A and B are shown apart, each in its own frame.
Chain A
Amino acid sequence: AQSVTQPDIHITVSEGASLELRCNYSYGATPYLFWYVQSPGQGLQLLLKYFSGDTLVQGIKGFEAEFKRSQSSFNLRKPSVHWSDAAEYFCAVGPLTTDSWGKLQFGAGTQVVVTP
């Protein structure tokens, strides 16, 4: 079955420290990959996306992600975390099938807490 896994439900990181969020997918072919961030009570904001080409993708707010086909992973990283990065982060993949019209399947999310 196709799936998206975010192994870490909750991560606590000190301000200024580096952050890495894991995302693994299970699909027959390489899907399109996205990272979204959701602040409390807010909508989903796109951080970055991977369709093809360079496997290291730069996004907004200083985030980057690396696609590794051999590991079926698309991990999100930030070198130095700011207090405003505290939020929930969702990895998403699409499309699921050739006739799925681009609907996204989300991972369970990783809650990031930033400590002073």
Chain B
Amino acid sequence: AAGVIQSPRHLIKEKRETATLKCYPIPRHDTVYWYQQGPGQDPQFLISFYEKMQSDKGSIPDRFSAQQFSDYHSELNMSSLELGDSALYFCASSSVGGISGADTQYFGPGTRLTVL
């Protein structure tokens, strides 16, 4: 079965640079979620999109932005990178419109971002 695809899998950037993470949801899934997992931490919700509109926002820094495109893939753009942004970034997708908690989120393998 098709899974959530994330690219790149690994990314190394310098401080103050920008990074773009991409997420391709499971086919026919209409909702995408982004999570950040710091070293030894649990995943923290950043932002979600339903039908290309932002549906919820968590603890996402103003330096980060995201969007969902017409083909439902999503991109997380990170600017002015800081050392503390080094983390594993997960994308998850679901298919029940994100309207209720009954939608099951399926996670991608993550993008490991290292900021030097």
Contacts and interface: CB of A to CB of B under 8 A. Distances in A.
A94 B48 CA distance: 14
Nearest to B107: A44
Given A46-B106, A95-B100, A102 B31 contact: yes
Given A49-B104, A90-B42, A107-B42, A102 B110 contact: no
A45, A51, A90, A103: most-surrounded residue (chain B CB, <10 A)? A103
Contacts of B55: 101
A8 to B, nearest CB: 14
Contacts of B43: 44, 90, 104, 106
B99 interface: yes
Interface stretch (A16-24, A28-36, A61-69, A71-79): A28-36
Interface in A89-103: 90, 94-95, 99-103
A34 B43 CA distance: 14
A36 B107 contact: yes
B105 interface: yes
A103 B33 contact: yes
B89 to A, nearest CB: 11
Contacts of A108: 41-42
Contacts of B58: 103
A interface SS class: loop
Nearest to B104: A49
B98 interface: yes
B107 A94 contact: no
B94 interface: yes
B19 to A, nearest CB: 19
A105 B106 CA distance: 14
Interface of B: 4, 31, 33, 35, 41-45, 48, 50, 55-56, 58, 90, 92, 94, 96, 98-110, 112
The 7 closest A-B pairs by CB, nearest first: A95-B101, A106-B42, A32-B101, A44-B107, A43-B109, A101-B55, A101-B56
